[in-house]
Chain A
Amino acid sequence: MTIGVVVFPGSNCDHDVYHVIKHVCGEDARFLWHKDRELSGIDGLVLPGGFSYGDYLRCGAIARVSPIMAEVRRFAEQGRPVLGICNGFQVLVEAGILPGALVHNRDQHFICRPMHLRVASAASPYTQGYAKGQVVNFPIAHADGNYQALPDTIQELEDNDRVAFRYARPDGTVDDAANPNGSIHNIAGILNAGRNVLGLMPHPERAAEPELGCTDGRALFMGMISNLVEHSA
């Protein structure tokens, strides 16, 4: 099985995701250049963090028209796994593969720190390794992670159990004090209707090894991988 890691000009968490899939999870990983139009042999996709095209415009606004994005859309529509982390989430939102928008953090600063998240839904390949309500810790590192959407969209996400993670206090309380960036309903990550696409601002790949002080993120990748193994079996 091979997970493709999409490299846009300016991606900078591509090596980190590759490392976790290959050396922590023990699966095959391959870098995909943003000009590639061929995904044969790829079983799952990760759009990593970074500053695609420098993000001088709205984050992800240029990356969404990269040649590979048509393939990513087709891949997602086929119900195959697509994971967008940080800038990858922003690109998925800009491409309309996930709903809503990610705007400037409410205090206008870039924020990098470990962050507690409450697992809002365990019903997806990515979150099946967690219990609903479980508190995990993945770091955040972004300036534009403030998730916003129209009320109908939020309603739809909430009604269909499509919020995957919310920013929370260490005890799991979801409130404004635990919200680092102003996201509506403390939303840190969401699923598409088919539950095969996850976009999240926090970085599970930075919390997947004991040496880095936290291994909570490993289950997210393992969930994505084990789901693929089940399907191919």
Chain B
Amino acid sequence: MSGEPQVTDELAREHGLTASEYATVQKILGRVPTYTELGIFSVMWSEHCSYKSSRVHLKRLPSTGPQVVQGPGENAGAVDIGDGMCAVFKMESHNHPSFIEPFNGAATGVGGILRDVFTMGARPVALLNSLRFGTLSRPKNRYLLNRVVAGIAHYGNCMGVPTVGGEVYFNPTYNQNNLVNAMCVGIGRSDRLFLGQAKGVGNPVMYVGARTGRDGIHGATMASEEFGENDEKRPTVQVGDPFTEKLLLEACLELMAADHIEGIQDMGAAGLTSSSCEMASRAGTGVHLNLDLVPCRETGMTPYEMMLSESQERMLLVAKPGHEDRVREIFSKWDLEAAVIGKVTDDGMLRLTFRGETVAEIPAQELAEQAPRYERPMQVPGYLEAVQALDVDGLPAPGDLNAVLEALLASPTIASKEWIFEQYDHMVRTDTVVRPGSDAAVLRIKGTDRYLALSVDCNSRYCMLNPYTGAAIAVAESARNVVASGARPLGITDCLNFGNPERPEIMWQFAMAIEGIADASKALDAPVVSGNVSLYNETLGMGIYPTPTIGMVGLIENGRQPVTIGFKDDGDLVIVVGRNQEDLGGSEYLAVWHNREQGVPPQLDLGMARRVNDAILRLMDTGCVKSCHDTAEGGLAVALAECAMAGGIGAQLGLATHTRLRADALLFGESQSRFVLTVAPANRDVMEETLRECGVPFEAIGWVRGDRLQIGIDRRLSVDAALSRLASIYRNALKDQLEGRTA
């Protein structure tokens, strides 16, 4: 096109294409690309859109199973939840934008993941998130947390989709790279899922939703680079408009209730470019767009800008022939625009015209699917040996175990997140049966006797110490969380946050984490149906701890009732299921009390993990489980304190070291595959018989009683604290630290 820059090797390099990638572009086209084409290739082949470093590893993840309705490759995955319904879900990162501009970065992260779900024809019913920040003693991190939470609240609350759960971790590793991973779960009909496919040659391609502006151009490319020292990145972050998205949601669902469209895809990263070429590529068709017809917010926008804009709240759809007017009518009811901007063709080309000129002509399949794939070199990181070495016997035994428990409850990673989740509307839609703060959020499925249990998890310290075990534990932990609520794990979505993949150590971490997820996912029968990879989470060469966040969807069914963590009644028997081992490595206790992030993560026996999960569900089927909680950060002592605080009733408990465990390891070690549950004393026999039949270790450790948490070890009272004191520490710690007061 006249007036556009001449494409040179230099310009291609500035667009982030390597010399060999640029050569491939020229080979595909058989010529030098136009400026618009160069822009299109650069975003589609960015790490963010092409998964060029990760794809060879991702295929190792198990993604099939009888419950899988839609596996990876579409806008979101889906699993069967009975009665012809499915849960449609996905998790995605918005890390880079949320560091640059936390409010809008986080808000548009929520907006994007919502669109991924409702574009499939499912109504979003729940949002979750995984947030990670540096230490709260730094004012910048307090600012980031405040604004990220406000941004998530702004978008989710306005949409009327409850934010029901999540996790928040604090570690210096995130000082320069906070993580914002957002997950959305929707409910749809399995036979009415809509796919991102441009089917039917000659069918009209329609643009719906907000107009296109100059915002977010090269957002995907920005997310595929490290941050430098004085980078000015603000203009690449978009501004979210949840009101328009709410209208878009209602209009799309109204449209999908009737038979008007062949396919639909949201314009997320790389906007009009990725939606058009991916839809064509999946259907084996081509798409011809007339860019003069694209609704623009600003005058004088060039084809390059239109194709690369990441303006929010837009969708591309392929209508059935003759249904254009009906589509326009529905969108007009919701005060939204719908414009025919092109048609489906049979030549496999993404062809763009503007003012009578052809400005781009690219084979869609090659653009979407032939992106370079790298088997990047891998190397065991040099730091591993040093951090894994932990001399447990050399650790001084703390004199006052009460003080340790209090310090752990005040650790912001463990402390109550009430200050955060009360800013989210977590009750709208009136399905939230178990509110945030339990193991999993539980939502009823109206019109059925079933419930969804949802959880998001990852302990990235474990992953730093051993990415394989750490990632497997993330899966196991999320499974335990839904099991503790009474749900069977159905499937997972993963959000893989890592550093720079061009460094062999990072690539090794990535590959090992994938192995860990794959093995755990197989063992626990929870296939990976969707996911997202976020690389280049580095600043000035310092990568984050590997953080493969796992989002789990479970189903409570067969008349089973949701179980909560809180102790219920005076006199109930407290049981620990699972085995206490000396797993101090990577523990929160070691970090908080001894100031060490060292050792190897807790041992994980996946066979045992599965057996314990199955045993818990079987025990729940007898109806005798009154409360249930899994143990995680802070170990048994923190888990017991959480049960007591949630129930507002104390406990008298006794543990034994059997002379093989240290007292601190018994209380605060983070051994896997353990649950704390309670039953009425009358049901002791049923409980013991059931667990024995299941072949899992268990131990009755005492009774729910009084207003203190008392834990004896080998008949010596080691922890003895008023519940009111523990609860005050636990509930106020995060708020105090956020307001600049140290705990």
**Which residue from chain B places its CB closest to the CB of A23 in the assembled complex?**
B446
B317: A residues at CB distance < 8 A:
none
Which residue of A12, A15, A111, A206 contacts B246 across the interface (Cβ within 8 Å)? A12
B422: A residues at CB distance < 8 A:
109, 111-113
A15: B residues at CB distance < 8 A:
429
Whether the pair A112, B425 counts as a contact (CB closer than 8 A) is: yes
Whether the pair B427, A203 counts as a contact (CB closer than 8 A) is: yes
A55: B residues at CB distance < 8 A:
158, 243
B430: A residues at CB distance < 8 A:
16, 19-20, 205-206, 209, 212
B420-453 at interface with A (beta carbon < 8 Å): 421-430, 432-433, 444, 446
**Which residue from chain B places its CB closest to the CB of A109 in the assembled complex?**
B423
Q: Given that A56-B243, A141-B427, A205-B430 are contacting pairs, would A110 and B158 also be in contact in the complex, using a CB cutoff of 8 Å?
A: no
Whether the pair A51, B243 counts as a contact (CB closer than 8 A) is: yes
Q: Given that A54-B243, A111-B422, A212-B433 are contacting pairs, would A16 and B428 also be in contact in the complex, using a CB cutoff of 8 Å?
A: yes
B9 within 8 A of A: no
**Which residue from chain B places its CB closest to the CB of A7 in the assembled complex?**
B250
B335 within 8 A of A: yes
B246-271 at interface with A (beta carbon < 8 Å): 246-247
Q: How far is the CB of B434 from chain A (nearest CB, A)?
A: 9
A50 within 8 A of B: yes
Q: How many residues of B contact A (CB 8 A)?
A: 28
Q: How far is the CA of A232 from the CA of B556 in the complex (A)?
A: 44
B334 within 8 A of A: yes
Whether the pair A54, B158 counts as a contact (CB closer than 8 A) is: yes
Q: Given that A13-B428, A110-B425, A205-B430 are contacting pairs, would A53 and B243 also be in contact in the complex, using a CB cutoff of 8 Å?
A: yes
Interchain pairs with CB closer than 8 A, number: 78
B153 within 8 A of A: yes
A28-51 at interface with B (beta carbon < 8 Å): 33, 49-51
Whether the pair A10, B423 counts as a contact (CB closer than 8 A) is: no
**Which residue from chain A places its CB closest to the CB of B242 in the assembled complex?**
A54
Q: How far is the CA of A12 from the CA of B247 in the complex (A)?
A: 11
Q: How many residues of A contact B (CB 8 A)?
A: 31
Q: How far is the CB of A159 from chain B (nearest CB, A)?
A: 35
Whether the pair A19, B446 counts as a contact (CB closer than 8 A) is: yes
A-side binding surface: helix, strand, loop or mixed?
A: mixed
Which residue of A51, A205, A206 contacts B157 across the interface (Cβ within 8 Å)? A51
B426: A residues at CB distance < 8 A:
112
A152 within 8 A of B: no
Chain A 153-169 near chain B by CB (<8 Å), digits 1 or 0: 00000000000000000
Q: How far is the CA of A213 from the CA of B562 in the complex (A)?
A: 12
Whether the pair B243, A112 counts as a contact (CB closer than 8 A) is: no
Whether the pair B241, A13 counts as a contact (CB closer than 8 A) is: no
A200-231 at interface with B (beta carbon < 8 Å): 203, 205-206, 209, 211-213
A9 within 8 A of B: yes
A88 within 8 A of B: no
Whether the pair A51, B158 counts as a contact (CB closer than 8 A) is: yes
Which residue of B333, B335, B423, B428 contacts A12 across the interface (Cβ within 8 Å)? B428
A138-154 at interface with B (beta carbon < 8 Å): 139, 141, 143
A145-198 at interface with B (beta carbon < 8 Å): none
Whether the pair B158, A10 counts as a contact (CB closer than 8 A) is: yes
Q: How far is the CA of A15 from the CA of B160 in the complex (A)?
A: 10
Interface centre among B246, B247, B427 (most CB of A within 10 A): B427
B651 within 8 A of A: no
Q: How far is the CB of A105 from chain B (nearest CB, A)?
A: 11
B142-195 at interface with A (beta carbon < 8 Å): 153, 157-160
**Which residue from chain B places its CB closest to the CB of A209 in the assembled complex?**
B430
Which residue of A51, A111, A143 contacts B242 across the interface (Cβ within 8 Å)? A51
Which residue of A12, A56, A110 contacts B160 across the interface (Cβ within 8 Å)? A12
A9: B residues at CB distance < 8 A:
243, 246-247, 334-335
Chain A 1-33 near chain B by CB (<8 Å), digits 1 or 0: 000000001101101100110000000000001
Q: Given that A13-B160, A54-B158 are contacting pairs, would A211 and B444 also be in contact in the complex, using a CB cutoff of 8 Å?
A: yes
A84-113 at interface with B (beta carbon < 8 Å): 109-113
A209: B residues at CB distance < 8 A:
430
Whether the pair B427, A50 counts as a contact (CB closer than 8 A) is: no
**Which residue from chain A places its CB closest to the CB of B123 in the assembled complex?**
A15
Instruction: Using A15-B429, A55-B243 as known contacts, list a sample of 19 further A-B pairs with CB atoms less than 8 Å apart, ordered by residue number in A.
Output: A9-B246, A9-B247, A13-B160, A16-B430, A50-B160, A54-B158, A54-B242, A54-B244, A55-B158, A110-B425, A112-B421, A112-B422, A139-B427, A143-B157, A203-B427, A209-B430, A212-B430, A212-B433, A213-B433
Closest 3 CB pairs of A and B: A12-B160, A54-B243, A51-B158
Chain A interface residues toward B at CB < 8 A:
9-10, 12-13, 15-16, 19-20, 33, 49-51, 53-56, 109-113, 139, 141, 143, 203, 205-206, 209, 211-213
- CB<8 Å pairs between A and B, sample of 25: A9-B335, A10-B158, A12-B159, A12-B428, A16-B429, A19-B430, A19-B446, A20-B430, A51-B157, A51-B158, A54-B158, A54-B243, A54-B244, A54-B246, A55-B158, A110-B153, A110-B424, A110-B425, A111-B423, A112-B424, A112-B425, A112-B427, A141-B157, A203-B427, A205-B430
